Amino acid sequence: MKLEKLEKSHYYHIFNRGINSEPIFKSNDNKDYFLMLFNKHLGDKVDVLAYCLMTNHFHFVIRLNEDEQIATQSFSNFFNAYAKAYNKQQSRTGSLFEKHFRRKRIDSDKYLRNVIMYVHNNPLHHGTEIDIIDYKYSSYQNFIANPKQQSVTIEKDFVIELFDTLENFKITHHDFSSADSLDIELQDLTSSDLQGFQNLAGQDNDSSQQQVNLQGLQDLVGFKSTKNKFYNYIQTLQDIIVSKLETVDGKAKFQEDLWERPEGGGGRTRVIENGNVFEKGGVNISAVHGELPDSMQQYFGVKNANFFACGLSLVLHPKNPMVPTVHANWRYFEMYDQEGKIVDSWFGGGQDLTPYYLFDADAIHFHQVCKTACDKHHPDFYELYKKRCDEYFWNTHRNEARGVGGLFFDYCKSSDDMSMDDWYNFVTEVGDSFLDSYVPIVEKRKELLYSDSQRNWQEIRRGRYVEFNLVHDKGTLFGLKTNGRIESILMSLPPHVQWVYDHHPETGSEEERLVNILQNPKNWV
């Protein structure tokens, strides 16, 4: 790849991302440090017109005030300093960024305005924020909210003059469309290395692929790609959930494990063990692709099909038997013909609660949060998906439910009533509600006292949990049949389990009450 020359007194769009699309920011502290280093190494060498930091990439719009040699060395020092500090903090080695930072010379006022709007709207395109004014790590706030602390100085007056007035600046940003953003990305891609934009279906972007039609490249770039938007969403959601659960536990931290699937794709597994609250748990994301295995082609009734699947799956097994186990999963699936065209796609997911000692208030709270999320999108969703959850999480060989249910939905496809964007909004609404549904229960029950016999009961009931996952669960079976990563798939299994021969709870006990309800699912709200 021939890199564009940096010339003094010219404007540039500078951008790059993590190697293999890996995160380059795990926390807001990382982003703050990144901006601080930028100011240290480049503050007197460039004028900044706009910037935005996302989980795995960044953008700057700058005017260069130094000759190429000085500027290039300063950028190199900046990236090396951040990568070194980040690797040390995250206990990782190797390259953090793609090999060369990308730069696109901006040669007109119109293009400059469009690039600035594109950069400021980046959080919206990646499904991170509803309103760009709410996104902290974008220079848009410098124009609208006037934050008191600014790590990077913005050429605010010049930019506003470029848009004529502040009001016009706001209006044009609000009206900025995905088509405009595509124009920006097309110009950048045609001048930069396409290797990093390998599409998630596993099709390499060789030189011939630069000749694909506009719709195909639009999907490649990802601004109207459901799979890219949803994958970005689950990456962010994983960070949010992990951070909150570590706070709730107060002791243990999630250990991260990045893995690759030989046939295509990979994932980011995060596991917590031996904490104050969580004995074992995992919050995992994955994005896998390739040829659909024969067994799955038979299942779907297709031939010679390729697929892409991504999702977030979590299971938490608390130590205290008074705190319920919880499971959640939100996923997206695409199937392709031999030409790479999407022939089918759908969303799926849900969340369910598995108590060992039943507190009715906990079940009611969990279901009410689920219902509230559903009601925002359709009045029938909660009743329908609650019923499907009761049916799905049913241990047929035991004739009882795994827990007290929640939501379960699958094969959510585009229809006259619901577009794929509508389904995306519904699924992400449910995902965003998860912490509200579970954390208050944990906080209320985690300090309750329990006996050895109650702990034994918890381990016996965990055996039923294991039985369901290994015998009935579709997600487990899909992972095993598509050569998924075994450690991540079986992360859902609890660490201590008992199988006691012909065990029956004592008559009239809380244990018996739980079993009776599991054998006869009830409506909680």
C-alpha span between 520 and 462 (Å, rounded): 19
Q: What is the pLDDT of residues 248-305, one digit of tens each?
A: 999 999 999 888 888 888 889 999 999 999 999 999 999 988 888 777 777 777 777 8
Q: Which two tokens stand for residue 494?
A: 């609890």
* Cα 226 versus chain centre, distance: 13
CB atoms within 10 A of CB 284: 25
- Residue that wins the pLDDT comparison between 480 and 9: 9
C-alpha span between 112 and 128 (Å, rounded): 24
C-alpha span between 437 and 101 (Å, rounded): 42
Catalytic residue numbers, as ranges:
327
Identify the DSSP state of 351.
E
Q: Which two tokens stand for residue 509?
A: 């006990």
Strand order of the β-sheet with 405-412 is 255-260, 265-273, 278-291, 306-318, 325-336, 342-354, 405-412
Q: What is the pLDDT of residues 216-252, one digit of tens each?
A: 333 333 344 788 889 989 999 999 999 999 999 999 9
Contact 169, 157 (CB under 8 A): no
CB atoms within 10 A of CB 501: 4
Q: What is the pLDDT of residues 70-82, one digit of tens each?
A: 988 899 899 999 9
Report how far apart, in Å, the C-alpha atoms of 189 and of each of 4, 182, 277 are: 12, 10, 48
Q: What is the rounded average pLDDT of the residues 397-413?
A: 93
Contact 256, 231 (CB under 8 A): no
Q: Tell me the DSSP string of 232-301.
A: HHHHHHHHHHHHHHHHHHSS--PEEEEEE-TTSEEEEEEEEES-SSEEEEEEEEEEEEEEPPHHHHHHHT
Instruction: Report pLDDT for 191.
Output: 39
Confidence of residue 321 (pLDDT cuts 50, 70, 90): very high
Residue 461 has pLDDT above 70, yes or no: yes
Q: Confirm whether pTM is higher than 0.85.
A: no
Q: Which two tokens stand for residue 208?
A: 């011939």
Instruction: Report pLDDT for 228.
Output: 85
C-alpha span between 353 and 434 (Å, rounded): 11
Instruction: Report pLDDT for 259.
Output: 86
Instruction: Report pLDDT for 12.
Output: 94
C-alpha span between 508 and 426 (Å, rounded): 41
Q: Which residues contact 11 (CB under 8 A, 6 or more apart)?
A: 49, 61, 62, 63, 64, 105, 106, 112
Q: Which residues contact 174 (CB under 8 A, 6 or more apart)?
A: none
C-alpha span between 442 and 247 (Å, rounded): 12
Phi-psi region of 215 (alpha: psi -120 to 50; beta: other; left: phi over 0): alpha
Identify the DSSP state of 18.
B
Dihedral over Cα of 436, 371, 328, 457: its sign: positive
Contact 87, 96 (CB under 8 A): yes
Q: Are strands 57-64 and 11-17 parallel, antiparallel or unpaired?
A: antiparallel
Contact 123, 232 (CB under 8 A): no
Q: Which two tokens stand for residue 3?
A: 């890199």
Per cent of the chain over pLDDT 90 is 52
- Residue that wins the pLDDT comparison between 415 and 340: 415
Q: Decide: residue 85, CB within 10 A, 0-12 exposed, 13-18 middle, 19+ buried.
A: middle
* Average pLDDT of every residue of the chain: 84
Instruction: Report pLDDT for 31.
Output: 93
Dihedral over Cα of 153, 158, 162, 164: its sign: positive
Dihedral over Cα of 421, 426, 427, 428: its sign: positive
- Residue that wins the pLDDT comparison between 498 and 382: 382
Q: What is the pLDDT of residues 171-222, one digit of tens each?
A: 888 777 544 454 555 444 343 333 333 333 333 333 333 333 333 333 333 3
C-alpha span between 100 and 17 (Å, rounded): 10
Segments of 123-240 assigned E as strands? none
Identify the DSSP state of 1.
-
CB atoms within 10 A of CB 502: 4
Confidence of residue 143 (pLDDT cuts 50, 70, 90): confident
